[in-house]
Structure 1
Amino acid sequence: MINLSQSKKHSAVQQEVRAYKQFMRQIAVIMLGVITFGVCAQAQQTPNPRPNININQAQNLSQAQLMQAQQAANSQRVDLSQYIQSEGNNTGRSPMSPSNNNDMYDNPPAGEEGNPAPYGANLFNSGYVAERSDGLNSQYRVSPGDKIAIQMWGAVASAQVVTVDNQGNIFIPDIGPVRVSEVPASQLNNVVTQSIKRIYPNNVNVYINLLSATPVSVYVSGPVQRPGQYAGLASDSLLFFLSRAGGIDPYRGSYRSISVLREGEVAIQYDLYGFLMEGHLPTFSFKDDDVILVSEQGPMVTVKGAARYPFRFELTQDNQQGSQLIEYARPLTKTSHVAVTGNRTAGPISVYVPFEDFDDFTLADSDVVLFNDDIRPQVISVQISGSYQGPSFYTLEKGARLLDLLSYIEVDPTAANYKNVYIKRESVVAQQKLLIEQSLQRLERSIFTAPASSDGEAAIRSQEAQLVSQFIAKAREIEPLGKVVVADNENVANIRLEQGDEIIIPEHTDLIQVSGEVLMAQAIVYNDKASIDDYIAWAGGFSERADMQQALVVHANGSTRFASLNDSGYWSTTSKQQVLRPGDQLLILPKVDTKLMQSVKDITQILAQIAITANVALN
């Protein structure tokens, strides 16, 4: 028995523990928020007197010099972490979710519904902004506020971090001010080293490292998703700031005319097509108050059809010929003609020109260009399966017939049952699937629209509908074989072949396949004195769901016949031929539950269709 008072006390203790943990977490968050990076005091060291240095002395590093440099660094160690963090300044790289531009395509402006996206719109759909590190590229130019680490060892040992002042200089003890403003990061080491070497020409080694860059504030304007002011590093790319602004508006902004304005003048012009096609993106060092201006979208041409890039492409004044659009859209090799529809001053146009003549065609805003394959292939390819020798694929002239090909296929007469050849055809598969789907739709309508005269009958109909729905779902998963019967009575029809035909040459076999609603589906050796009853008995007999009145016989040539049990107890078919032959398949179909009286006929018909087209007995 549970003591309720103890349970309540235990619950109260748990609540107090949870409240205490929550309080401690809040204290920890507050403490983390007030911690700042402290600046480590630099050790003040009296400059070493300048030693007597032999100018001709070799300046190769020795083991003693390396040890001396290490001792100097240890004695004047500087905590660089505070500078690597840019003194807590926000460079625009706080964790953020990737810009989601789906809304731009879900709500296009009037007249743009259904048009493909502009070429380059996916540039701003990723989250690379949050993944970018605070690294500096070699083209970055030093600016006031930057931190520079200077290490000297040899005759003079020193380690210090200096800040670029407002005049663009750094001050080095015993050296004086050194001008570093606007010096590229890749040349900073040489510039500072040369200034030090003027005072210490020999036996002094210098290492210079740019630790951090001062953040810059850049404006992004024009047709972008979120125009405004954004922080970053001077070495950041144009794509970084555009992505921070949500990317270019795909229906209004230009991907080919983007300017960076500095003091009202154009400092650099960008065309993102160069980056998208060739990976070319000019490097540029941004400054405070620079303005990235995205221009209004230029004339747009929509590409459709046989092209690798079916997008909307932006034209420029120097770039309105068909040859330029071919370079962007990259039509497939099979393209033979180009259809262009649009509007001109004189009225609407609709032209259809050969692909070779499209190079000099002048395009205009809102044109729709369709790259079309209007040359029909004059050859077809077919596949050989089953018992044959030689290649399995053949290329034939269009209009070739079956016997024309069979005369070139080598077979072993003792192994190949070449008189029972048949074809699997893709167009027949589609037609068979369509017929089955139409039958299933009729069955659905008859089941779900059946009237009920009472509540009890309605409950029964509902249960029947659920069972039939499961049957329909399984039936839709069946893939027909697309058999075309071309052989009968050892005669092969010389039919016209189609692209993708698979010609099946069966193998000679002495087996009869028994499957479907039998207890043990298996292959049984053919016996010319055995009846259908015998084969069913050898397969274990009928299952509980078997239709004992009829069976489906699938012959080696792909043809099918129903065998029915007559009143005298013998199996017979509508054909005068022998019922079973070596290589045949005996398929026992399931019996439809008579409780589903309304749909028995439809379901029976569908079962027969599936059995004939796919050689499957579906429950």
Structure 2
Amino acid sequence: VSIFGPSQASFSEAISLDGYIKPAGMPRIYLKGITLGSARELLRRRFSEYYSFSPNEFEVAVTYSRVITINVVGEVFTPGSISIPATNTAFNALQAVGGPTDIGSVRNIKLLRNGEPARVFDVYEFLQDPTVEGNFYLQDNDYIHVPIYEKLVSIDGAVRKPFKYELKESEGLRQLVDYAGGFKENAFQGNIQIFRVLNDEEKILNVNFRELVASNTDFTIYSGDSVAVAEISRPYENFVELAGAVEFPGRYELEPGMRVGSLAGKGRLLTEARTDVAYLFRTREDETVQMLRVDFSAARENPGGSADLVLQPKDKLQIFSQVTYVDKASLSSIGALREPTEISYDPTENIKVSDLILLSGGLEPNAAEYGYIKRVDPANKVKLDFIRVNLFDVVSDTSSVENRTLKPFDQLIVYTNEQFFDEANVVVTGAVRQPGEYEFDDGLRVSDVI
């Protein structure tokens, strides 16, 4: 003990066999069986009655811990006498000898001391509340006895810590489940199976765990019993499914009395959804599927009516989209146009050749007078028609008969003037200064070439 401050002092004291120290000029201070932290606080209070110091001017340190001899017997890996510092507990001594063997008890370990009743150390209790270790400090020549277990059972399946557990005589199935960490979320608690050897025969017992809890009773477990907790493997069935032209497709909980209209409302119909008809796919018990046609408009207009069918587990409601039934067509242009393009075909508008030319940036200066509409038959896309169009008439007068109305998949082809003329040359040889080839045009004469 060191004191520095207004008062200065230093003490070196040994704890007697009776568990106390007696500093000079002070009464006995009993420290046996308490932690170092508690001892430090107790000493500070006692010394403050005789000396003047602040809390940070007082120090306590253990400079030496006496060695004691402990005898560990019974079902441990290395039984015998061991020498350990006196600050150790029964749990530390068990660790020093390797712990209990496979048949050693961890629930009924006894601490034996001359003249005192045996004290029982329970490892399970220590694991749940480590503070109990402080009640098992050792003295010189103490005995630790590890007996053979009395009741060892195993638990497997849908529990968090499947393993073998030692139970006390008064503990049953409910306590075993607690030691195993409780059930998993998918445990089937309605039928816990216990496998037991009785009268040279293996028997199986079924226990409804939920009924045990409800009646606040327990089920007796015997040593050697094997407990199996089944997992719920069957997929959930309390759902209905919504698919198609809805904002939130997917599975929904099947609520009591749920109908077609209420399910469709949960998914929020898209603007393009068909509201006249829908289909309900119903799974029978034999896993075959029945298809039911639903008068969707009547189901929505008259909730609870005959058309608003009551849903069953695993029903699937299919809502159709109007987009599905519309052929997506396009119009395109290629050739002597400033910006050849491809646009979606709008069946509600009469798109003409002049419109497509404008959308393509107009004709290029070298565009030929005539072009063609390449038309595909939607019923037979191999069949093609080519329609001749006077483009200059179309551009100059949109009311011209040449300004035809386009149909789905039409393509406007605009040629250049150059595409209608072949390049031709004339050859000059002999007594001329520059013999060779010269480009031909309609007004070219022999004299011009020479």
The structure with more helix, counted as a fraction of residues: 1
What TM-score results when the alignment is normalised by the length of structure 2? 0.49
